[in-house]
A and B are shown apart, each in its own frame.
Chain A
């Protein structure tokens, strides 16, 4: 059971964005994708989501080619939190969250799920406000709640699901950023595979089970954070001197320049 990129390439005209890439994510794990700007991280997420069709190779969801799955079916298996887009008309926060409801179950269960998600995501105080009046960080919290609702199930489900996130905490303050990452760890516990593109290497080291370091559309390194976050390799990829050390007091890796 997994979501897989199998020798996948993607390019726009002569510009190769992803080149012969392999990737596998399984339910229950949190996989971080890191790398400099333009490395192809967001493209990888769009390929995993089925939005972009690979020019070579194949994307497999639970053993099926993702191109053969209908959008409706696919929406029950994966959700994708993109970078927040502008919304033209005035919707309330509750309405935006409710758009994440894709299951065909009764309205009572639906309202129960929405209430639960709004509480869990700590956005009850925002729920009647207009989405467009929120700050960037608040909007990201609402979009995160909408994505969680999409994968919400009435009881402990053994059906694998996947949550993809593209810099979900870019506009959040420290409290909510840590809150969201902690939440992702719990989410993974519900048989959900999480793939997140993240820039902060300290948080990546602290919260991810596994990391993929990308550059120029290729995987440079893959494995546990301690393995991937090698100072020489990072300095080379980011083209700036980067140091990595283990802090025994905090019991975690610290990455700094």
Chain B
């Protein structure tokens, strides 16, 4: 009788772990492709056995590697935050953009683009000013979201979503104002930033951001059981032992930190936080242990590939990466809707 029970569950585990091996292979393949391909193609083997030229080495170490790793971590963070927020809000449409975190970061960064020239910023600090401003923006929105939601009552999911929509609109006003008063050069930087790009990646700013993203993601990954139980309803989660306010706090603050740290360096990148969790659910199932792990792997791989596409379709020019993610994400999302409508 025991064997009957153990066997199918073991097969189940193997089946899922097979899929995870597949996703691992996908990630490694994207890394290899991302690191080796580009305006200058770099022989990765040559780097190891020393036959690569000095130029190739410099391009790899100073330009290619920070960029590809940033793309991977940002993709993973956006997807993970999206999966967590969808689970928390029990809403398949939730994503970091929806609750205003991305717009908050945008306000911070854009204010630096437009007003930064007027401030006298020492050279050594220049790499950190934009990221810090964007992080502050993301944190400010999260703080506002949090205090409004508390003020309006029981910190309910509906309240948070509605407050998020309002904050988004307010951020839109500020961004619009900055666009209106900026000069031509600023406007160009600003528009490029709003469409997202990994081209500004330098180790000095990438490493601290990766630190924040990894730290926040580890906290988020610990929420899998709580997320599963929240699917039954907030009261039911409480009956099952979840400290609901505390869990919400962790989820919202950490997804804001993860997204804010990423967006601060790259600008706004659409659809990854929305679509990747759906892909993970489709492929692996709704249990958050699987959805969250899958989102990390798929998010990182897809972002690396999207960035690769963005910088190779029209060399030496570069497309904003959001154009690529939106171009792939939007039709895929339509397909998801059609699929849901059919079933």
Contact = CB atoms under 8 A, between A and B. Distances in A.
Interface of A: 46, 49-51, 70-76, 78-80, 82, 85, 87-92, 95-96, 99-100, 102, 111-112, 115, 150
Contacts of A88: 90-92, 231
B5 A111 contact: yes
B239 A85 contact: no
- Please indicate which of the listed interface residues B232, B235, B244, B285 has the most CB atoms of chain A within 10 Å of its own CB: B232
A71 B235 contact: no
A99 B229 contact: yes
Given A82-B236, A111-B5, A102 B241 contact: yes
A70 B240 CA distance: 11
Interface of B: 5-6, 9, 87, 90-92, 228-229, 231-233, 235-236, 238-244, 281, 285-287
7 contacts: A51-B238, A71-B244, A79-B240, A80-B236, A85-B232, A88-B231, A89-B286
A71 B237 CA distance: 9
Given A89-B281, A115-B5, A71 B241 contact: yes
Contacts of A90: 281, 285-286
A47 B167 CA distance: 36
Of the listed residues B6, B91, B92, B240, the one surrounded by the most CB atoms of chain A closer than 10 A to its CB is B240
Contacts of B287: 91, 95
A51 B239 contact: yes
Contacts of B235: 46, 51, 80, 82
Q: Is the interface of A mostly helix, strand, loop or mixed?
A: mixed
A76 B241 CA distance: 8
Nearest to A74: B241
A213 to B, nearest CB: 26
A184 to B, nearest CB: 18
Nearest to B92: A88
Nearest to B247: A71
Contact of B238 (A71, A85, A87, A91): A71
Q: Which of B87, B229, B235 has the most CB of A within 10 A?
A: B235
Contacts of B229: 99
A102 B225 CA distance: 10
Given A71-B242, A79-B239, A99 B92 contact: no
A161 to B, nearest CB: 13
A166 to B, nearest CB: 11
Contact of B243 (A71, A85, A100): A71
A94 to B, nearest CB: 10
Nearest to A128: B8
A79 B236 CA distance: 9
A80 B240 CA distance: 9
B28 to A, nearest CB: 29
A242 to B, nearest CB: 33
A142 to B, nearest CB: 11
Contacts of B5: 111-112, 115
B173 to A, nearest CB: 32
Given A51-B238, A71-B244, A72-B241, 19 more contacts: A51-B235, A51-B239, A71-B238, A71-B241, A71-B242, A75-B239, A75-B241, A80-B236, A80-B239, A82-B235, A85-B232, A87-B231, A88-B90, A88-B91, A90-B285, A92-B285, A96-B232, A99-B240, A111-B5
Contacts of A79: 239-240
A115 B92 CA distance: 31
A50 to B, nearest CB: 8
A106 to B, nearest CB: 13
A82 to B, nearest CB: 6
Given A88-B90, A88-B91, A75 B233 contact: no
A87 B232 contact: yes
Contacts of A99: 228-229, 231-232, 240
A89 B277 CA distance: 12
A75 B91 CA distance: 26
